[in-house]
Every structure is written in C-alpha cells, then in structure tokens.
Amino acid sequence: MKAVFVRGKNRVAVDDISVPFMGDHDVLVQMRACGLCGSDLEKVYGDYGMSSGKLGHEPTGNIIKMGKSIKGYCIGDRVFVHHHVSCHACHYCWHGDFTMCDMYQKSNIEPCGLSEQFLVHDSNITRGGLVKLPKDVTFDEASLIEPLACCIRGLTKCNLQKGDDIAILGAGPAGLMHVILAKLTGVGRIVVFDINQFRLDFAKENFDIDTYNVAGEKDIIKKMKDSTEGRGADTTIVATGNSKAIVQSFDLTRKGGNILLFGVPTEGTMVLCDISKVYSNELSIIPSYASSEIEINQAIRFISSKRINLGSLITHRFDITNASEGIECAHKAKDAIKVIITANHGNYK
C-alpha cells in the first residue's frame, strides 16, 4: 500500500509499505479522504513543535478488517477516525483539559492518515476515536470533521455573544470555518485579514464579510477600529502561525477583549510585545490546541444536520499517488482553500 512521509525539509515521498500488523483488538480502515492541515504543512515546511511527525490526521474511510474481539462495528462501516484520544482518567482530563492528557500525544493511527490503509488501535476505539458516519455525511464532508471540531473548541473558549465584532487573521480553511461558526452564534461584524487575495475574494464572495489585504493596507488597526466605533474587535482569532499577526492582534482587540491563538506557530517562535498593554487593557490571550471527542461529535452533528455547508471550502482533490503535488498546492495556496487527499478504491461517496 502507499503512504506519505516527510523526507527532509520541504520534501515528502509516497512510499510503498506493508499493511500494518493487526491485533485482535484493532481495526483496519481503507482511507477514502483525508484533509491537509496547517500542522501537516508545518511538519513539511516549518518546524512543528509537537511530538507527532506523522502526516494526515483528518482521515475517513471504510472498515475493511477487524480483530476478532471488536464489537459494535461491521466490515464496510463508513467511519471517521480521531488520531489522538485522551485517557479520561488523569488530572488533566478531570479538569476538562483533554488535549493536555499525556495519552493524547501518545495515541495515534498507524502508519498515518495519509495512507491507503491505516490501523486504528484498541486505545483509540474504546475512547471514542472511531465514529460511524451518518448516512448523509459524505467522505468529503467527513474529512473536515477534525478541523471543524478544533474551531468549535476554540470558539467555545471565547464565549462569543450575539452582536460581537470579530476580527480573523488568516483566510485559510480554519479562518473560514471560524467565520461559518461565528455567524451561527449571531455575531455582528466579521472582518477577515490576509495577504492572499484569492482567499480574501473567496471569503467575501461566499460569506458576505469585510476583508482586507494586509499587504495592501497601511493601517489595519485603524480599519478595524473605524468599523467598530473606535473600540476594536471583541474577539480576535489568530488563524495563522505568523508571529506578526499575533502582535497585531493586541492592537486589533478592544479593551477587555479576547485573543484566540489558533494557528500553528513554528517551534521557537518568540514575540516581542508591550506586556503592560496586555495587562492594562485586560486582554485575555486564549490558546486552543486540537480537539477532543466532545467537539468531534459536535462537528458531526453540525454537518449531518446541514446547519452548515463546508463543501465549498474544498477546492482541490489529489489522489494519494500525487500527494506531494497536493501538499505543495496547499502550501502555496495560490488558488486553494482546502486541499484533500483521496484514495479511491472503486466507488467514492
């Protein structure tokens, strides 16, 4: 079978490898679709700060083989797989900090999500990491479950209120998912900033929001304050790992407002800022890393109920044999929003 691996800085390879050995408590899934995430791109082109170097954590597919001890699933079941799961029994989990659980980083699928077939271990299965898809959720849609879940978790931390003004730095897939979710909560003005004009045009056309090209605007702070009666954003979402965006968020946000650190920063990123401004303006800086099974199931319900439509975000599909081109396409983002990798074995639904 084919699987995708990082092979040095700025380079990936599609290798032929053996199917992982399956135990009595494991499940083998045939991948149908797997989204490419900013963290995948950071692993290839940057310096990813977390322990996992595997590519692909948004996979969905069909169960093709099961260990003899597996109950509750059938061959052919359409499933979404959450690569990381928490133990639900440690100090972090008791406090609701599921993504901080030591088991969270240790648990994973084999060899990775960007693989024609991958193994789901017992630890993932028994802790909610193998979820049957509703019949009305396509594989395309299912490949967006994990990133949507991450956005749900981040916005939940921000406690948005109706009428709030939102600034979003980054018009990539995560930034636009935040737009979609924020609109559901009944927020007021949403302003999106980016340097990619294609993505800004896409956002304006599809979501009827204000957009500004950071490269072309001399003073985005003034633009935000002018549109919010001089206050600034109630919540600023940093949906990029760019350190300059983090610094800009301090001035984009109103006194007493929230700053959601969502984008994946390069390991070792340092930010020089006037911390007295953060203190005197009572800015709440809220990091949000990944998602738990709670948000995964919320995301599935959102998609299944058709309350949101994420399909338009998918602009490119690449077969796994051409995964390197897909990863480059997502990285350059010249005309791309969300790029997914497929492994089409017969019918694709």
Q: Indicate the residue type of 333.
A: A
Which stretch of DSSP H or E encloses residue 255? strand 253-261
Q: What is the pTM of this model?
A: 0.95
The fraction of the chain above a pLDDT of 70, given in percent, is 97
Three-state DSSP at 239 gives: coil
What local confidence, expressed as pLDDT, does residue 48 receive?
75
* 215-227 mean pLDDT: 86
Check whether 135 has a pLDDT greater than 90.
Answer: yes
* Identical fold, 2-144+310-342 and 153-287: no
What local confidence, expressed as pLDDT, does residue 87 receive?
96
Class level of CATH domain 2-144+310-342: alpha beta
Q: Are 251 and 221 in contact (CB under 8 A)?
A: yes
Q: Which residues pair with 110 in a beta bridge?
A: 119
What local confidence, expressed as pLDDT, does residue 50 receive?
61
Query: Where do the structural domains in the chain lie, given as residue ranges?
Result: 2-144+310-342, 153-287
The tokens describing 223, both together, are: 């633009």
* 148-177 mean pLDDT: 98
DSSP 74-126: -TT-EEEE-S----SSSHHHHTT-GGGSHHHHH---BS-SSBSEEEE-HHHHT
Check whether 191 has a pLDDT greater than 70.
Answer: yes
- How far is 81 from 59, CA to CA, in rounded Å? 6
CATH placement of domain 153-287: 3.40.50.720
Q: ∠53-129-144 over CA atoms, to 5°?
A: 70
- How far is 58 from 326, CA to CA, in rounded Å? 15
